[in-house]
Amino acid sequence: MSTEPVRVVRHPDGVVELTLDAPGRSNALDLEMAEALRDATAQVAGDPGGAVLLRSTGATFCVGGDLRAFTGLGEGTGAYVHAVATAAHAAIHTLHELAVPVVTAVRGAAAGGGVGLALVGDIVLAARSARFRLAYTEVGLTPDCGASWFLPRLVGPRRATDLILTNRVLTGDDAERWGLVSRSVDDEELDSAAYEAAAGLAAGAGEALRAAKRLLREGTGEDLGRRLAEEARQIAALADGRGAQDRMAAFLGRPRKPESVS
């Protein structure tokens, strides 16, 4: 059995599975865990397959920073926390920038930095019993792992402020209603639903999925006119390709006309 706190498994169907595997510590982020996550995501980025599935073992997704590792360091606390955050942030940025779709499966608690890690997915599935809680201000800290960036974009500034300042808890169903996750599912269905979502994306029109993801990521804050022009350019470029033409013909139930041979 692997003793690595983060594992990468490549499946034949094109799904690359990235698993937080320190259940005895609730997948908390100490320096070892954060650096392992950074290194594993860099490995995934080198060959992300057709889709990436981010999940965890045990009853908890990730409780964020390991407060037990943070305490007792005296004047060295800030330097240690900065090192943990820097490594974790490198991992989150790498996942966010992946060209292929990322699916996240959240069960149990996602707290502190675990919230940002959960939200980095393009598709986020949560067990109904999942619990999302920022919890930073309760221990005298401020958000990290992208929480202050993801939350306003996903749920709006009012709700983001509520979550960060009051540390209120959202269940999986709450998180779906708020727009924090894509959908909530029964606990026993989470693993299969998340894998099926990733496998479906990996088997899909890869070039179109990557281009669509790029449009979504690049379009935030852009002038509508420029965005419309880029959409027209991109859809036309894909329509010229054999893959899209075959898929359109199949959708209509018609065989594609063979290319002429001169």
Structure tokens at 35: 């650096």
Which ranges of the chain does DSSP label H, i.e. alpha helix? 31-46, 67-70, 77-97, 113-119, 147-155, 157-166, 172-178, 190-202, 206-218, 224-239, 242-252
Q: Is 96 considered catalytic here? A: no
**Entry field: residues in the chain:** 262
Strands 102-106 and 109-111: unpaired
Annotated active-site residue 240? The verdict is no
Give the active site residue among 30, 66, 144, 174: 144
Evaluate the CA torsion angle 36, 40, 45, 51 in order and state its sign.
negative
Rounded Cα distance, 19 and 17, in Å: 6
3-state SS of 113-149? HHHHHHHCCCEEEEECCCEEECCCHHHCCCCCCCHHH
Q: What are the residues whose beta carbons fall under 8 Å from the beta carbon of 26, sequence distance 6 or more?
A: 58, 60, 62, 63, 108, 109
3-state SS assignment for residue 253 = coil
User: Which of 159, 177, 161, 203 has the alpha carbon at shortest distance from 13?
Assistant: 203
Assign 165 to helix, strand or coil.
helix
| 89, 162, 173, 187: the active-site residue | 89
Q: Which residues are catalytic?
A: 89, 144
